[in-house]
Amino acid sequence: MTQIKSEIKQIEELRQLLQQASYAYYVLDAPIMEDAVYDRLYRELQQMEIEHPELVRLDSPTQRVGEKPAIHFTSVRHNIPLYSLENAFDIDELQSWEQRWRRQTPTTDAVEYVSELKIDGSAIALTYENGILVRGATRGDGIMGEDITQNVRTIRSIPLRLNLGDLENLEKVEVRGEAFLPLDVFRQINEERQKAGEQLFANPRNAAAGTLRQLDSRIVAKRRLDFFAYTLHISGMDDASIANTQWEALELLEKMGFRVNPNHKLCASLAEVAEYYQYWDTERLNLPYMTDGVVVKLNSFKLQEQLGFTQKFPRWAVALKYPAEEAPTRVENIAVNVGRTGALTPLAQMRPVQLAGTTVSRATLHNSDRVAQLDIRIGDTVIVRKAGEIIPEVTRVLTELRPPDSQPFVMPTHCPVCNQPVVRESDEAVTRCVNASCPAILKGEIEHWVSRDALDIKGVGEKLVHQLVDKNLVHSVADLYDLTADQLCALERMGKKSAEKLIDAIAQSKNQPWSRVLYGLGIRHVGSVNAQLLTQKYPTVDQLVTAKQSDIADIYGIGAEIAQSVYQWFRINANQTLVQRLQLTGLQFVATEDTTVSNSNQKFAGKTFVITGTLPTLKRDEAKALIQKAGGKVTDSVSKKTDYLVVGADAGSKLEKAQTLGINQLNETQLLEILEDSQN
């Protein structure tokens, strides 16, 4: 007994010493022992744990790298939603953000801001229970992410056990931060891939995202990801008694054992924030990691709580981005698009130009105010950039190159689709068509209904939607469920098999959950994340219909604007009729338990596959059937949302794109092994 107690004590002392050494090396950048000494002590602990497996704990340094690759990643619900940030692209937009949040609160006092560098990596959420790391998850859609705990544990700057000190009674701690690849590590990985004849990673961000989604944690460990923590949520104690501000939270994160970016700054005014932003505009080029902007947060947690959230963003924070790549081009036409809400959006149609790796030929002009501000005209030479590296926008007009016969652009007074008068409310910048029967509005509603995040009806694209509306086959989304194969066969490029397949896809959409149906209804301001929050609170449509507006507004992440929109939508007779028709078709208006996790044979549930090349023994249809039987989905093209690429002989561009995006690859043998394991 004495011997066992002695060994238990020795194991615990070794763990503490190795944890201190790891913290000093990876977080403080101040090593306290030589690598050879660390390795010897590590092997000693490893051997003792082999001899006493009953003493192995999750927070042991030996448990950072798993011995067996994961079969798949499990979808998990975040304990607290991970909201994205609103973007600002210059100091003027930063000031506009401040004006907006000040209108939301009665405070007139001076406030403090915390400015932090925006690290260009992958956001992850960490959960600690009683000080021990129990889960690491990707951001996903903000509500649901993927459990990548095994990979997160390989990141040495993430503690497996928190240094809680006198806070040892904390039950649960949620930490958010950014996993990233240092530039020197990124260059080394690409050099190794080049020598091996593999496709190079496009940038550190893609490489980090692809690394986190590797099934084998040993590969992740070799990539040497790093981590900066920036958000702290605490359960089990009053947060205010621990940290009242973002600055205090960052200090507490450091004490707990996390790396916090050392370049954050407490700013007494927006002018100081601007100075910080301008300083790092050039200085960031000397950093050992990538950053694409500055995150600005109100320091006071009390003020953050008062401001709350919009449907997408926290009102108390903004991402001030550095200028994106810009390019000149010429405006060949200005068209006006009518969306599903009736909004008329002017659109610049331009001579194609290369921008941030893609060809750009169109850019939104937002509304008539923006058109007037730019004074943009057909024939103008303009400067185009990608806002947030995603959406093309016109930033300025080079009037000195303007053709002498150009004419100012004027927004139409009538809808360009239905020719009915348009209106612009005094409190809005948007001009709208208010004709509920406008074909453009109906087309937009149907395109939204069938979209991937809504009912996800494959095969119903823009061209088909236009045909269905133009030929008077549908007058609302409910009419989709009354279509017949014979009706579809009468449309252009629609054969009998395609029609039957489409009818089946429409029928399959009846299995989509209540949250997707709610999002698909297209209620103004209700995004996919808000829809999930609403259906969690109100698991049936009847409960949502009868809910008080004030109760809806009290849901964390919803707020008054969204609540008013939802409440008013369900009070309109035409919308009530639509819901009743959709209920009769068999669509889900009641939340059901998610069976994804409980069904042990659905190893690929929620995963998207692409197959490329010729497989050794399986035909492509056979491989597709096997994947679908295991709950997976097979698509034709590779994108960021692809989870796995199944690779055969003579693979082409799909393989190259997957390698660039860091997507997991499987050969036929690996695919069959995973499927075989799922049956055991």
Which pTM was predicted? 0.50
pLDDT of res. 576 = 92
Separation CA 661–CA 664 (nearest Å): 9
Report the candidate in 171, 330, 182 with the shortest Cα–Cα distance to residue 259: 182
Mean pLDDT, rounded, for 366-390:
83
**Was 267 annotated as part of a binding site?**
no
pLDDT digits (tens, 9 = 90+) for 202-232: 678 878 888 888 878 888 888 889 999 999 9
396-428 burial: b if 16+ Cβ within 10 Å, else e:
ebeeeeeeeeeeebebeeebebbeeebeeeeee
8 A C-beta contact, residue 27 and residue 157: yes
Q: Tell me what pLDDT residue 493 has.
A: 82
What value does the mean pLDDT take over residues 451-468? 90
Q: Could you please report the per-residue DSSP string of 569-617?
A: HTTSHHHHHHHHHHHHHT---B-----TTT-TT-TTTT-EEEEESB-SS
Supply the pLDDT for residue 395.
84
The answer to whether residue 473 scores a pLDDT higher than 90 is yes
Closest CA to 280 of 270, 268, 258, 295: 295
433 is in an annotated binding site: no
Least confident of 293-307, 375-389, 452-466: 375-389
Choice between 277 and 290, residue whose per-residue pLDDT is larger: 277
3-class secondary structure, 668: helix
Q: Is the pLDDT of residue 67 over 50?
A: no
Q: Is 438 annotated as a binding residue?
A: yes
- C-alpha 96/C-alpha 270 separation (Å) is 11
265 is catalytic: no
DSSP label of 1: -
Please give the average per-residue pLDDT across 322-328, as a whole number: 75
Tens digit of each residue's pLDDT (9 = 90 or more) over 88-121: 888 999 999 999 998 888 776 789 999 999 998 8
On the question of pLDDT at 560 being above 90, the answer is no
Q: Is 35 annotated as a binding residue?
A: yes
C-alpha span between 500 and 506 (Å, rounded): 10
- pLDDT of 285 > 90? The answer is no
Give the pLDDT of residue 59. Answer: 64
Q: Residue 96, annotated ligand binder? A: no
Nearest-CA neighbor of 218 among 151, 122, 140? Answer: 151
Q: How far apart are CA 551 and CA 571, in angstroms?
A: 16
Alpha carbons within 13 angstroms on the beta-carbon side of residue 245 total: 13
The larger pLDDT score, comparing residue 274 to residue 77, is at 274
The per-residue pLDDT for 601 is 47
Annotation-wise, does 489 bind a ligand?
no
Residue-wise pLDDT for 517-558, tens only, equals 999 999 988 887 788 889 989 999 999 999 999 999 888 667
Query: For all residues of the chain together, what is the average pLDDT?
Result: 83
- Rounded to whole angstroms, the Cα distance separating 441 from 163 reads 56
CA gap 658, 559 in Å, rounded: 40
Which of 118, 443, 603, 657 is flagged as catalytic? Answer: 118
84 is in an annotated binding site: yes
- Whether 37 has a binding-site annotation, put simply, is yes
